[in-house]
Amino acid sequence: MKSTFLLVLASLLATFAISQDMPEMEMPNLKKQAELPTMPRDMPGWIDSPGLDHLFYKAAPYNWAINRIPFFAKDMFATGVGHAMAYEALVRGEAPTLETKTFDTINWVLKHQPSLPVDEGAISPTFMRKYGYLEKVFDWAHLLHFQTIDVFMHQGWTDAQKEAEIERLWALYQAEPYAITGLPMNMEYLDSFPYSMKFRTDYPKVNGLFWGYHWLQTVNYDMLYRVPVQDQAAQYELIGKRYHDVELYKTDRDFMPMTAEMSPRFAKRFPFIANAFDNLHMLHDNVNDIFSQTNLNEAQKQEQTKIAIYRVLASTHSKEKAGDGEALTMHDHRFPPSQPGMGMMKGSEGDEMWMSGMGWMNMGECAHCSIALPEGQPWGATVFADGWTMTVRCLMCARDMSSETPGRAIIRAATEDPNRLLVLISDEEGNWTTNIKDVVFLEKFAEHPECSAWSRAFTSRAAFDTYVAANPEYKDDKPMTLVEWAAINHGTPDTFSRPDKPNPYKGGGGTPPVTKSGGKP
Amino acid sequence: MKIINTISKSLALLAIVGTLGIAPMAMAHETPCPYCKMKVVQNTKEMDNEVVLKVGNKRIEYRCVYCIIKDQKKYSGDLIVYAPSEKIGEPIILKRTGGKWTAPEGTVFLNVFTKHADCAALSRAFTSKTALDKYVAAHKVADAKALTLEKFIEAVNKPAK
């Protein structure tokens, strides 16, 4: 009885000590739960099994297609090394040199990437021995990352074949006990534990690397999705440079990059995969925070790691469905109406969310003219520039948004043929190259609410003529070449607006209180 | 130095706004100056501040003419700079054609800032020396000199001490 009392007392004191010794808990508007989460009763049995249970790729003709873009492949392989080195350092008690010695070592690897995937167990033996169950979850999700990329980079399959295979890969992934849920989860909730935010606060450089990897791992999907294989590599020249020059070393992000922010089209088509990747990346953040706690003993770290895994496992949410759930709980599976591939974010309301580096944006609206995005075909375009990816209504919005943004840009746009994506890549001066050599444009400037009708791209002159024949209001308009079209600039539309609210991550603007029904007042 | 105080106050407000993370309504796709990374100062009723670089098909906002001259090497094509002058709505047009810079006759430049927080106020173009002198007197700018375009570029490119 006495020992039980002492155990309870020690546990209470430990919890008290943790909450007392977390300076970030004092930070404004970063609300956290006061108590450490407790072990659930239905923790799956495999989590205590010491077996390796190593899973490998599904045998398939597309495996290793990632090597079609060698620099991309090597950058992706290097992310695994970076993860493993940081975890090994943390579990070996080398946190004091994480931002110096470990950072330098990882940084060297990122600049001298391996040509093949590296067995993380060989780099992080201590981590594997202590947290093998966590590695099973990470490894299985990372295989999903790699194989979905391989499918998109496989030559010889149609987009429909690729998408069907992605669905099969998802089913295969979900069939294993280590699978992470594809349901959207509330990111504010997942980042609200007593230990949360510790890693990004104490180790901003290494955290920046982690979030940089997650930027790369999510930005690549729109680079590949429905993009002909021969048009993928040219995009990585720009994206890869951005990754190495800027994204890896950013320490001022408000939150980790989300899949739907970086690859909105992929996230909309495969929301369950986008959600799984975000939940995976949030698990990385949770684990980083747990490992970097100085006030948790090893047993507590093990316990909190297992609970963090439990929170995102597919098995934990097997009876739930997307769109349901009580706000700010583990089963908050709501999502923004226009983007099922993302859980609710801190301060989000409806489609509005705070995007780091862009401010408040509305995912249901054109990022340039603020008019609602079109439903159906043509779906519009996306603009990749300055590290972000934004969805716009039409080609004009895409071009003008790129024109006012410093640096190179990529436009991925719908044409009259739903199976042919236009990929335009610009240099520093806004001179574009195209993947469709006969592309022509219609642009009869009028009011923005109809811009997706009068600003379009066509794969050929014949396609343009067909459209004009069906829409006689354009009979006097001539098809424009890429050079002619690129030289036009209508500037910022009068219709542009953005929500005038504070950054929810920096003070004010928190999530509105939850009503009894679980909805917003 | 009244104008500097005014701009400093604006900057302070911007800093506060930035700290709070408030995104002002009117600024579209707001990005920092590509060179100094500080917020581009918007036009006010009293004075134009936006410096726009037209290069190829791009129109990019910078914080001041100094920042553009410093950043020009990244562009290979011809450049047109719309530099705010002392006259609202009447920018001075500077051109780099075939690598050579030109400005309208009589254009002079002020370039006396020591910190980029002040560059929008203290690195500016004027249509005449008279206009520059008036600006300097009105705002009590210390150590001001009217520089020709050539001397201005030379001063910008001078290696840091």
State pLDDT tens for residues A62-82: 999 999 999 999 999 999 999
In chain B, what percentage of residues exceed pLDDT 70?
A: 80
pLDDT of residue A32: 85
Residues from chain B contacting residue A503 (CB–CB below 8 Å): 20-22
pLDDT for A10 beyond 80: no
Residue B150, CB-side half-sphere exposure with 13 Å CA sphere: 2
Largest CA distance in chain B: 44
* Whole-prediction pTM: 0.86
Spell out a b/e string for A378-412, using b for 16 or more CB atoms within 10 Å of the CB, else e. Answer: bbbbbbbbbbbbbbbbbbbbbbbbbbbbbbbbbbb
Within A449-490, residue ranges assigned H as helices are 451-454, 461-470, 482-486
Cβ separation A404–B59 shorter than 8 A: yes
pLDDT of residue A517: 32
pLDDT of residue B161: 54
pLDDT of residue B30: 61
Region of poorest pLDDT, from A148-162, A240-254, A365-379, A406-420: A365-379
**What's the mean per-residue pLDDT of chain A?**
91
CA A339-A343-A349 angle, to 5 degrees, is 75
Residue type, A6: L
A193 min Cα distance to partner chain B (Å): 24
- 300-359 in A: which are within 8 Å (CB) of B? 354, 358-359
Q: How does DSSP assign A236-259, residue by residue?
A: HHHHHHHHHHTGGG----SSPPPH
Paired tokens of A238: 């720009």
Q: What is the DSSP letter of B26?
A: S
> Does any CB of chain A come closer than 8 Å to the CB of residue B60?
yes
| Interval A274-326: pLDDT, tens | 999 999 999 999 999 999 999 999 999 999 999 999 999 999 999 999 999 99
pLDDT for A16 beyond 90: no
Cβ separation B75–A429 shorter than 8 A: yes
Closest by alpha carbon to B84, among B121, B129, B31?
Answer: B121
**Do residues A99 and A230 make contact, with C-beta atoms less than 8 angstroms apart?**
no
Mean pLDDT of the A397-417 span: 96
Residue in chain B lying closest to A430 (CA): B57
Question: Which has more confidence, A10 or A51?
Answer: A51
Closest by alpha carbon to A112, among A142, A143, A71?
Answer: A71
Mean pLDDT of the A447-453 span: 90
pLDDT of residue A209: 98
> Does any CB of chain A come closer than 8 Å to the CB of residue B58?
yes
Which residues are CB-neighbours of A6 under 8 A, at least 6 positions away? none
Confidence class for position B159, pLDDT limits 50, 70, 90: confident
**Locate tokens 């424009």: which residue?**
A480
B58 min Cα distance to partner chain A (Å): 4
Paired tokens of A237: 């020249």
> Does any CB of chain B come closer than 8 Å to the CB of residue A125?
no
Region of poorest pLDDT, from A194-198, A470-474, A496-500: A496-500
pLDDT of residue A20: 40
CA A82-A261-A116 angle, to 5 degrees, is 30
Mean pLDDT of the A477-484 span: 98
In chain A, what percentage of residues exceed pLDDT 90?
A: 84
pLDDT for A1 beyond 60: no
pLDDT of residue A499: 85
pLDDT of residue A376: 84
pLDDT for B54 beyond 70: yes
**Do residues B101 and B149 make contact, with C-beta atoms less than 8 angstroms apart?**
yes
Distance of alpha carbon B83 from alpha carbon B95, whole angstroms: 11
CA A123-A124-A130 angle, to 5 degrees, is 160
**What's the mean per-residue pLDDT of chain B?**
84
pLDDT for A7 beyond 80: no
**Do residues A376 and A370 make contact, with C-beta atoms less than 8 angstroms apart?**
no
pLDDT for A24 beyond 80: no
pLDDT for A472 beyond 70: yes
Cβ separation B57–A430 shorter than 8 A: yes
pLDDT of residue A4: 45
Question: Which has more confidence, B98 or A11?
Answer: B98
Distance of alpha carbon A368 from alpha carbon A75, whole angstroms: 32
Distance of alpha carbon A32 from alpha carbon A20, whole angstroms: 13
Which residues are CB-neighbours of A139 under 8 A, at least 6 positions away? A54, A55, A120, A178
Which residues are CB-neighbours of A465 under 8 A, at least 6 positions away? none
Distance of alpha carbon A225 from alpha carbon A151, whole angstroms: 10
Question: Which has more confidence, A120 or A425?
Answer: A425
**Do residues A418 and B45 make contact, with C-beta atoms less than 8 angstroms apart?**
no
Cβ separation B61–A404 shorter than 8 A: yes
- 63-122 in B: which are within 8 Å (CB) of A? 74-77
Taking phi over 0 as left and psi of -120 to 50 as alpha, with beta for the rest, B126 belongs to beta
Paired tokens of A51: 């077996």
| Interval B1-41: pLDDT, tens | 445 444 444 444 333 333 333 333 334 456 789 999 898 99
| Interval B71-109: pLDDT, tens | 999 999 999 999 999 999 999 999 999 999 999 999 999
| C-alpha dihedral, A490 to A493 to A494 to A500, nearest 10° | -150
Residue B52, Cβ density class (10 Å: 0-12 exposed, 13-18 middle, ≥19 buried): middle
pLDDT of residue A30: 54
pLDDT of residue A52: 79
Paired tokens of A329: 């709980």
Pick B20's closest partner by Cβ from A399, A430, A502.
A502
Residues from chain A contacting residue B22 (CB–CB below 8 Å): 500-503
Mean pLDDT of the A170-183 span: 98
Paired tokens of B45: 């009723």
